[in-house]
């Protein structure tokens, strides 16, 4: 039996985002046709800067969605106030945090496109408007 979906969401595991991400996935056209989810600390951070072992493990998860479920689009979602980034960097300004995360999303995008050149990749930044994640502003960076 085939189990197909159109999209894969790679997101941070941060529990504070659950309600807003759920709302966003229901309201956004990006998720029409269903979606798989890879949820890890820092979203695609480890794909951009992790060891080869970690990168290969990450790519195996992507392969399940693309090869088995026929996903055609990958949405990479990063957010402000990310603990995985706070462990590696000391950002004094939101702008610097956003720039670094976008840089990493673009690196991850290139790594994925090497293996899956026909997949559309959308990069999304979420700015948490409060520490609890009750309000998140979603911004498409690259589509």
Q: pLDDT per residue over 82-134, tens digit each?
A: 999 888 888 888 899 999 999 999 999 999 999 999 999 999 999 999 988 89
pLDDT of residue 116: 96
In this prediction, residue 18 carries a pLDDT of 96
The backbone region for 115, taken as left when phi is positive above 0, alpha when psi lies in -120 to 50, beta otherwise, is: alpha
11, with CB counted inside 10 A (0-12, 13-18, 19+), is buried
Task: Calculate the average pLDDT of the chain.
Answer: 93
- CA–CA separation, 141 and 39 (whole Å): 20
Query: 117 Cβ partners below 8 Å, 6+ apart?
Result: none
Question: What does the block give as tokens for 111?
Answer: 């790594």
Domains of the chain with bracketed CATH = 7-142 (3.40.1050.10)
Spacing of C-alpha 33 from chain mean position: 18
| Res 90: pLDDT | 83
With a threshold of 0.85, does the pTM exceed it?
Answer: yes
* Four-residue CA torsion sign, 55, 57, 58, 62: positive
* Residues 12-29, mean pLDDT to the nearest whole number: 96
Dihedral angle sign, alpha carbons of residues 71, 58, 77, 37: positive
Q: Are 12 and 69 in contact (CB under 8 A)?
A: no
């Amino acid at each position: 039996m085939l189990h197909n979906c159109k999209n894969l969401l790679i997101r941070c595991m941060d529990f504070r985002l659950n309600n807003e991400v759920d709302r966003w996935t229901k309201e956004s056209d990006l998720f029409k046709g269903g979606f798989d989810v890879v949820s890890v600390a820092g979203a695609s951070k480890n794909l951009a800067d992790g060891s080869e072992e970690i990168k290969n493990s990450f790519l195996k998860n992507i392969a399940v969605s693309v090869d088995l479920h026929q996903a055609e689009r990958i949405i990479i979602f990063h957010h402000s106030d990310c603990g995985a980034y706070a462990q590696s960097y000391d950002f004094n300004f939101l702008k610097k945090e956003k720039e670094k995360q976008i840089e990493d999303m673009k690196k991850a995008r290139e790594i994925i496109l090497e293996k899956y050149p026909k997949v559309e990749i959308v990069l999304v930044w979420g700015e948490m408007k409060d520490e609890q994640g009750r309000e998140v502003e979603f911004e498409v960076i690259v589509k």
